[in-house]
Structures are given as C-alpha cells and as structure tokens.
Amino acid sequence: MQGDSNSTDGPRDKQATIDESTGHEPDAAGADDPPTPRAADPLAEAQAEATRMKDAWMRSAADFDNFRKRTRKELEDARRSGREDLLRAVLPVFDNLERAIQSALRTKDVKAVADGLAMVQRQFTEALGREGIARIATVGQPFDPGLHEAIQQVETSDHAPGTVLAEVQPGYTQGDRLMRAAMVVVAKPKGGDGDPGAGQATS
C-alpha cells in the first residue's frame, strides 16, 4: 500500500513543478537570472542618427529660406518707402517750377522770373536737406578726389594749386555716402604739371 502511495505522489509532484505559463519545466540553474539584452544593431543606429540629422538640416534650411525671403521683403519695403518719402518731398518743388514756367510765359519781367526760379531752387535744396542729401561745396575749396572730379585744370597765379575755381556740375552726398561727385575746374601753377590729385583733368 505504501508503494502505491509513493508511486501516485511522484507524477503529481513532478507535474506541479511544470511552469504553468509555458507548459515546460523551468531551468533550475537560470530561474533567477535576468534576460540577456539583445545586442544593438550599429547599422540601424547609424541610419536613425542620419535620419535625425537630415530632419534637423531640412528644418534649418527651411528656417533660413524663410529668413532670406523676409529680409528681402523688408529691404524692398524700405527702398519703396524711401522713394515715396523723397517723391513726396520733391513733388511740391515740381509744382512750383511748373507755376514759375507758366508765369514766365505771361510776363516780360525777367527779374521776376529769375526770382521765382531762385525760390524754386531754394525749395528744392531744402527738400533734399530734409532727406539728408547735401550739395558738395566746390568753388574756393581744396580739390578733394573723394568728392570732386576735375574735368579741367587752369594755370593761374591768383589761387593756390589744387583750388577749385569753378563748378561745372554739382555733386551730392547723403550722410557719409557720395551720391555724385562734383565736376570742377581746378587751379594749377603756371608752367607746372598741377596737382597729382587732379590727374583726370585735361589742360
């Protein structure tokens, strides 16, 4: 009877040791060991990093393109606004010039016409001044190759060599920027070669 009892308990105990979740007997040696992590794939990691870098580059390129377009538009708006401001300042001058011409056609008073034109010229100079545009000083000034363009040299002993004797065409600056050089006539000593700074001049 005892033998029968032992033979009955054996299979039951063995069955109890079977892993209920897997249906297999657990490995007694590795039952408590953590699962071994799978080795990372270097190629997959490199591809993922390349994808991240590409996305970041594309975002940066898009941001720069938007910045470039925005800057270009701001510059165009600034130029347009500057032209409009100058036009608004100059239009009254043209209005008065047109009135002066119409008045000159109806009168024989030359002095009145000259006075009217002088007034228009002063108004034009003031309008340019409000926009920061100034006329370059010429006659009586020392020749400055950065502001003046000598188109002729005249031998004289009445003025120091390199002195501007006459203005052929006025020049203008806007702040520190030269907009147009003044065309001038420059003095040179009699029998001399003149100021080297007026090298473009012709005798």
Nearest to 150 by CA among 78, 83, 72, 202: 202
Q: Is residue 176 included in any domain, yes or no?
A: yes
In a domain, 53, yes or no: yes
121 and 159 assigned to the same domain: no
Residues 66 and 103 both lie in one domain = yes
Nearest to 173 by CA among 137, 143, 130, 134: 134
Amino acid (one-letter) located at 200? Q
Residue the block writes with tokens 């070669």: 193
Q: 123 and 147 share a domain?
A: no
Domain containing residue 156 = 134-198
pTM: 0.56
Tens digits of pLDDT across the chain (203 residues): 444 544 455 555 544 455 555 555 555 555 555 666 666 788 888 889 999 999 999 999 999 999 999 999 999 888 888 888 888 888 999 999 999 889 888 888 889 889 989 999 999 999 989 888 999 999 999 999 999 999 999 999 899 999 999 999 999 999 899 999 999 999 999 875 554 454 444 43
The domain that contains 149 carries what CATH number?
Answer: 2.30.22.10
Contact criterion met (CB below 8 Å) for 154 and 165: yes
Residue 40 has which token pair? 């990372």
